[in-house]
């Protein structure tokens, strides 16, 4: 059972999205602003469709937080769908509103529409698409913002950037030698780019590529990277398949709508090299600087040259044997092109059985920049879960004590 559990609910055009996060220790400072910052980042990005102009997401904290701090009970969040006023009857739970909008009967290829309709015996595909929509990820980002806040109390940071949109590639900003400092420096640059790409030339190329796709009624996918820095050595485990952190992170990222491939470090590229070229050799120098006052908040505990055992490269993407090894965690996710097409694809009407054009729902042309932000949330939730599994604690002071004592032990090892 996960230490940190979460669940989301809500339809794309329903009244609201809801989410519950359980397992956060008491005493973590959290505000709606902490959450809304990430919601705003998810809504940005060049290539989004009309909906992003209607929606401006804000979270409401319904439970689990009192006077600015968590109290250990489940945290419930609510994000209203501002578009709901246009769907009041169409999405009503009242039987008297039945038939107030026409059913969707033309399944869109690349969506949950057809398998969902058959599996759930629904002849109005709206009953499937409303929940399969990536609108749901707004709540994952909100819950992830709480996990991010928790991790920040232990000096961990999570970021992401886009390295490919369609055929336009930025040479990966992550190099196997990238230090924590180099990765951190990407933060500011990424948020200034409309496509969340830290490379200016590539950003411009990506924007042009999206403009062309919009003009031609086409859609695009791409690749983003997520990194986590400051993660202590030893999260996850080699002991059992489902405790391996690489598998848990891959699952978390793969669960994002339209993500079809995951790499840890330069995973696929490594497969074509000699082993001697891509293993991160182990070095040692005495730990420094001394553990700062306040323990976990002060001293960095690993990374090149900071403490004891270290690596000069990071082909492993921060994970060996299903456990963190103290180096930055680097993950890459490939997103397929947005399936909904302005020039509709061929489909079959589920009522008449006749060949038709697939339904068109207002749609993004490219959502890779937003997917990166969602990836950050999923990584934050997964690492926070593994962290709490290792250090436990019902209140933040207890978790910090456990963490600090482990760090002291690691430094002495
Ligand atoms: C942030 C984000 C936004 C998306 N926006 C759209 C969209 O506007 N139109 C669309 O057809 N698909 C969109 N998708 C992709 C679909 O949600 C996804 O392809 C579909 O639910 C089927 O799931 P699958 O691709 O994982 O099989 C988006 C995905 C993400 C992550």
Mean pLDDT of the chain: 91
Choose one of 257, 337, 345, 347 to mutate for the ligand 1 pocket test, by most ligand atoms within 8 angstroms of C-beta.
257
Nearest residue (CA) to ligand 1, atom 9: 363
Instruction: Tell me the mean pLDDT in the region 225-231.
Output: 94
Ligand 1 centroid, distance to 133 Cα (angstroms): 6
pLDDT tens-digit series, residues 386-401: 999 999 999 999 999 9
Ligand 1 centroid, distance to 10 Cα (angstroms): 16
Ligand 1 pocket member 132 (CB < 6 A): yes
Instruction: Tell me the mean pLDDT in the region 325-349.
Output: 94
Nearest residue (CA) to ligand 1, atom 13: 338
Choose one of 367, 369, 372, 373 to mutate for the ligand 1 pocket test, by most ligand atoms within 8 angstroms of C-beta.
367
Ligand 1 pocket member 364 (CB < 6 A): yes
Ligand 1 pocket member 338 (CB < 6 A): yes
Give phi and psi for 160, each to the nearest 5: -155, 160
pLDDT tens-digit series, residues 269-300: 999 999 999 999 998 888 765 544 433 333 33
Ligand 1 centroid, distance to 202 Cα (angstroms): 24
Ligand 1 pocket member 339 (CB < 6 A): yes
- Residue 295 has what pLDDT? 39
- Residue 184 has what pLDDT? 82
Ligand 1 pocket member 371 (CB < 6 A): yes
CB atoms within 10 A of CB 394: 12
Instruction: Tell me the mean pLDDT in the region 249-275.
Output: 96
pLDDT tens-digit series, residues 90-99: 999 999 999 9
For the CA of 133, the nearest atom of ligand 1: 17
- Residue 404 has what pLDDT? 94
Nearest residue (CA) to ligand 1, atom 22: 111
CA distance 25 to 392: 9
Instruction: Tell me the mean pLDDT in the region 52-71.
Output: 88
Least confident of 4-8, 234-238, 348-352, 360-364: 360-364
pLDDT tens-digit series, residues 314-326: 999 999 999 999 9
- Residue 45 has what pLDDT? 85
User: At residue 255, does pLDDT exceed 60?
Assistant: yes
- Residue 367 has what pLDDT? 97
Report which listed range, 77-86, 132-141, 167-176, is most confident: 132-141
User: At residue 15, does pLDDT exceed 90?
Assistant: yes
For the CA of 108, the nearest atom of ligand 1: 11
Q: Which is more confident, 177 or 102?
A: 102
pLDDT tens-digit series, residues 119-164: 999 999 999 999 999 999 999 999 999 999 999 999 999 999 999 9
């Amino acid at each position: 059972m996960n230490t940190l559990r979460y669940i989301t609910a809500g339809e794309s055009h329903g009244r609201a999205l809801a989410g519950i996060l359980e397992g956060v220790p008491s005493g973590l400072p959290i505000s709606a602003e902490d959450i809304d910052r990430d919601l705003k980042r998810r809504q940005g990005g060049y290539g989004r469709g009309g909906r992003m102009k209607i929606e401006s997401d804000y979270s409401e904290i319904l439970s689990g937080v009192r006077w600015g701090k968590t109290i250990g009970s489940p945290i419930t969040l609510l994000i209203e769908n501002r578009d709901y006023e246009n769907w009041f009857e169409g999405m009503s739970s009242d039987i008297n509103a039945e038939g107030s909008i026409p059913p969707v009967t033309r399944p869109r290829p690349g969506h949950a529409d057809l398998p969902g309709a058959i599996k759930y015996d629904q002849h109005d595909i709206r009953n499937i698409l409303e929940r399969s929509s990536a609108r749901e990820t707004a709540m994952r980002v909100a819950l992830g913002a709480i996990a991010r806040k928790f991790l920040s109390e232990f000096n961990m940071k999570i970021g992401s950037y886009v390295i490919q949109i369609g055929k336009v590639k930025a040479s990966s900003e992550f190099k196997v030698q990238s230090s924590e400092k180099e990765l951190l420096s990407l933060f500011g640059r990424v948020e200034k780019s409309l496509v969340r790409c830290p490379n200016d030339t590539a950003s411009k190329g990506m924007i042009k590529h999206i403009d062309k796709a919009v003009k031609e009624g086409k859609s695009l996918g791409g690749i983003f990277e997520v990194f986590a820095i400051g993660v202590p050595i030893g999260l996850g485990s080699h002991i059992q398949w489902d405790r391996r952190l690489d598998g848990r992170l891959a699952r978390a990222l793969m669960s994002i709508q339209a993500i079809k491939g995951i790499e840890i470090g330069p995973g696929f590229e490594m497969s074509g090299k000699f082993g001697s070229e891509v293993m991160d050799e182990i070095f040692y120098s005495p730990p420094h600087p001394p553990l700062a006052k306040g323990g976990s908040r002060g001293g960095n505990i690993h990374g090149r040259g900071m403490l004891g055992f270290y690596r000069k490269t990071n082909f492993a993407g921060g994970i060996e044997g299903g456990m963190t090894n103290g180096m930055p965690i680097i993950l890459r996710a490939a997103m397929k092109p947005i399936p909904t097409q302005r020039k509709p694809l061929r489909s079959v009407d589920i009522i008449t059985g006749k060949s038709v054009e697939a339904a068109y729902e207002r749609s993004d042309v490219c959502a890779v920049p937003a997917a990166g932000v969602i990836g950050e949330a999923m990584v934050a939730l997964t690492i926070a879960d593994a962290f709490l599994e290792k250090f436990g604690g019902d209140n933040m002071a207890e978790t910090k004590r456990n963490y600090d004592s482990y760090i002291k032990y690691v430094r002495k090892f």
